[in-house]
Structure 1
Amino acid sequence: MIDWRSAAEAAKAATDPGSITLEAGEREAYARDVRDARDGVRSVSGLEFDVPTTVEIQNRHHWIDANVATFERVMGTLEKHAHSGAFPGVAQTINTGTMTVLLSFLGRNVLGQYDPLLLADAPDEDHALYFVRPNILKAADSLAVDPDRFRRWIAFHEVTHAAEFGAAPWLSDHLEQRMEKGIAALSEGSFDRAAFRELDAAMTVVEGYAELLMDHAFDDEYEDLRRKLDERRQGRGPLQQLLRRLLGLGLKKRQYERGKHFFETVVEVQDLETASLVWEGPEYLPSHDELDAPRAWIRRVDR
């Protein structure tokens, strides 16, 4: 369906890689941010986890190369079920061109990424943590914020995701199964509403709990950073807005907001320990309806 090598090469050709020539002490600053984030999140959450052994400071081309493998794994699930079209060569050309545009757009905009390596062939492959240095510096400059503080904020956010997947070893399988089920249905021309609702609910929990931990673990105020970043996204041109919608980035913002409201209510009614029950097992995840009725979830699980 997609010529991945061609897509990656074309995306890199269209994207300035940016510099990863680090200033004195910068590498240690990244490492310190990750360590401090790990210790802070452990302290406030009580979760047992460790950060990935793979922590990379990347340029934009590095990020594209790292994520082609991820996209290929996800799309491979679709290819297993897809039927050959009447003009497969034409379809591949169109699909490859589309993926080139998306990889290039994301490569210029992603700041940091925790990669749990969903759908990896080897189940024991390590998760990874990426920082796209040129994008972090560019965003900090455009937002007129201190780049060291901004980088540290990104590190804390990504480490919260490492905490979630580390505390819930079942989470990767849970997401993979619903992803594969939903994609398989799409390839057959149907829509598995239940699979996508469960996937959306799980990702809302992932994003919302991360925001909860950030509120408690980050050692500085960061509302200004979140506000400025949201304003920057809203101010983009129509093509960028379209790409964000196609990539589901508007959905991700909704997941942040909905998940954060769920966990804020749980902590207000109960406590952070109760909120952490979501990682006890899949049966503890709130349903799609319970995300909007946190007290109903509390009554179900806090016994």
Structure 2
Amino acid sequence: MVDWNLAVATATRLVRPGPEVSRDEARAVVAELRRHAKASEGHVRGFTRLGTDDAHDTPVLVVDRPGWVRANVAGFREILKPLLDKMQERRGSTPGGTVLGAVGGKVTGVELGMLLSFLSSRVLGQYETFAPASRDLPAGGPPDSPTGGGRLLLVAPNIVHVERELDVEPHDFRLWVCLHEETHRTQFTAVPWLRDHLEGEIQSFLAETDVDPMTVLERIREAAQSLVGGRPEAEEGDGGRSFVELVQTPAQREILGRLTAVMSLLEGHADFVMDGVGPDVVPTVSEIREKFQQRRARGASRLDIALRKLLGLDAKLRQYRDGERFVRAVVDEVGMDGFNRVWTSPNTLPTKAEIAKPADWVARVHGRPES
């Protein structure tokens, strides 16, 4: 169904070259990012009051853009396997299914590679938890361990590119990025059930995918009509949805609402921690934050803005803002220890509505009336 090797080859061929640096400069950047990642552990743990010894065993991998692509292809391959197996079985029972599958797999591989090449120059770091351990992707433990077999990825050329584009102090910016990504590593290593919960939600989302091509085409047709205003009964607010959202089933939208709330929490928490720790260890944090927010908001080009809308990446930008606002409001109301009750179980995670109204989460989890 997907030619994964072709996806990697396509992305690697199309990926933009990184900034020009000498070999010595590259080595220095890698070494500094490793030092900052290590130092960030103590800063993040002290501020969040979360911690586990498993974090020490979780590898920090400083990668280039093709390395990021390979890690994400490995993760996609693992998380999508149940859905692709189901689609392969469905296709294999139709006349000519094998031939169509071989051709379709290459087409999909090229398309995925093109998408990853676009994204590979935009990601500064990532906590990757779904890909199985391999020589290129060592993990902190077996997949059923509390770490979930995860690893922290720092994309060195992208970090250097952005620090130059923003014209900020490089050493401060690198530590600032590491604080954000280390928060994600702490979230997953200190909350053992988080990885399995996310994987379960993703698998539930994928299980709702209709593998009938005609049904998918009909949904795409309806989505296209709604985007151009051709469907009179279009739901209110459809104009604000991405094309990806519009081709989902109602059940998928419900699951996506829960996933959006979790991702808003994780991203907002990381931004909150980054800003909370920053003033003590990053002298130029105010300048970095202001310039980085401006960069997030404006996008790189008209094409970049169009692709962000198509892929739903604008929603991710909202997650940072809405999630950070939720975390800040809850910490202001009940303190850090009170906020940390969010990590007790899936039942204490905020809903999408609670992300927008933090007082509702406080009332539900802490039993306090809304102020």
Structure 2 equivalent of residue 76 of structure 1: 81
Structure 2 equivalent of residue 197 of structure 1: 257
Deviation of residue 28 (structure 1)? 3.9
Deviation of residue 39 (structure 1)? 0.5
Deviation of residue 103 (structure 1)? 1.3
Q: Give per-residue Cα distances to partners, 1:110-167, cap 9 Å, x unaligned.
A: 2111112278894345311111111111111111112221111111100001111122
Name which of 319, 324, 327 aligns with 1:260.
324
Name which of 264, 268, 275 aligns with 2:339.
275
Q: C-alpha separation between the residues in 1 aligned to 2:360 and 2:299?
A: 38
**TM-score normalised according to structure 2 size:** 0.74
CA contact (8 A) 1:52 1:128 kept: no
Name which of 128, 139, 148 aligns with 2:171.
148
Deviation of residue 179 (structure 1)? 0.6
Name which of 194, 209, 213 aligns with 2:269.
209
Q: Give per-residue Cα distances to partners, 1:156-213, cap 9 Å, x unaligned.
A: 1000011111221101111111111111112356442322111111111111221222
User: Does 2:23 align with 1:21?
Assistant: yes
Q: C-alpha separation between the residues in 1 aligned to 2:17 and 2:210?
A: 35
Greater Cα offset, 288-297 or 252-261: 288-297
**TM-score normalised according to structure 1 size:** 0.90
1:271 counterpart SS class:
helix
CA contact (8 A) 1:52 1:126 kept: no
Structure 2 equivalent of residue 179 of structure 1: 202
What is the number of equivalent residue pairs in this alignment?
Answer: 303
Q: Give per-residue Cα distances to partners, 1:97-119, cap 9 Å, x unaligned.
A: 21111111122222111112278
User: Does 2:185 align with 1:162?
Assistant: yes
Deviation of residue 32 (structure 1)? 2.3
Instruction: Kindly report which structure 2 residues correspond to 1:1-303, keeping only aligned pairs within 5 A, or say none.
Output: 1-16=1-16, 18=18, 21-23=23-25, 25-49=28-52, 50-51=55-56, 53-82=58-87, 83-84=90-91, 87-117=100-130, 122-124=143-145, 126-188=149-211, 190-192=249-251, 193-218=253-278, 219-220=281-282, 222-233=285-296, 234-302=298-366
Q: C-alpha separation between the residues in 2 aligned to 1:247 and 1:226?
A: 25
Deviation of residue 222 (structure 1)? 2.9
Q: C-alpha separation between the residues in 2 aligned to 1:280 and 1:118?
A: 25
Q: Comparing both chains, which one has the higher relative contact order based on Cα–Cα distances under 8 Å and sequence gaps of 6 or more?
A: 1
Q: C-alpha separation between the residues in 1 aligned to 2:294 and 2:47?
A: 30
Q: C-alpha separation between the residues in 1 aligned to 2:193 and 2:346?
A: 8
CA contact (8 A) 1:37 1:155 kept: yes
Q: C-alpha separation between the residues in 1 aligned to 2:189 and 2:366?
A: 22
CA contact (8 A) 1:160 1:210 kept: yes
Structure 1 equivalent of residue 224 of structure 2: none
Q: C-alpha separation between the residues in 2 aligned to 1:93 and 1:285?
A: 40
Q: Give per-residue Cα distances to partners, 1:64-88, cap 9 Å, x unaligned.
A: 1222101212332321332328643
2:12 counterpart SS class:
helix
Aligned partner letter, 2:144: P
Q: C-alpha separation between the residues in 2 aligned to 1:74 and 1:33?
A: 30
Unpaired runs of 5+ in structure 2? 134-141, 216-248
Once the two structures are aligned, what percentage of the paired residues are identical?
Answer: 32
1:186 counterpart SS class:
coil
CA contact (8 A) 1:208 1:255 kept: yes
Q: C-alpha separation between the residues in 2 aligned to 1:198 and 1:11?
A: 31
Q: C-alpha separation between the residues in 1 aligned to 2:250 and 2:131?
A: 22
Tell me: CA distance 1:166–1:173, structure 2 relative to 1, closer, same or farther (3 Å): same
Unpaired runs of 5+ in structure 1? none
Q: Give per-residue Cα distances to partners, 1:11-44, cap 9 Å, x unaligned.
A: 1112256468353654442232112211011111
CA contact (8 A) 1:63 1:132 kept: yes
Greater Cα offset, 79-88 or 133-142: 79-88
Q: C-alpha separation between the residues in 2 aligned to 1:44 and 1:9?
A: 42
Aligned partner letter, 1:32: R
1:56 counterpart SS class:
strand
Tell me: CA distance 1:20–1:4, structure 2 relative to 1, closer, same or farther (3 Å): farther
CA contact (8 A) 2:36 2:175 kept: yes
Aligned partner letter, 1:205: L
CA contact (8 A) 2:179 2:273 kept: no
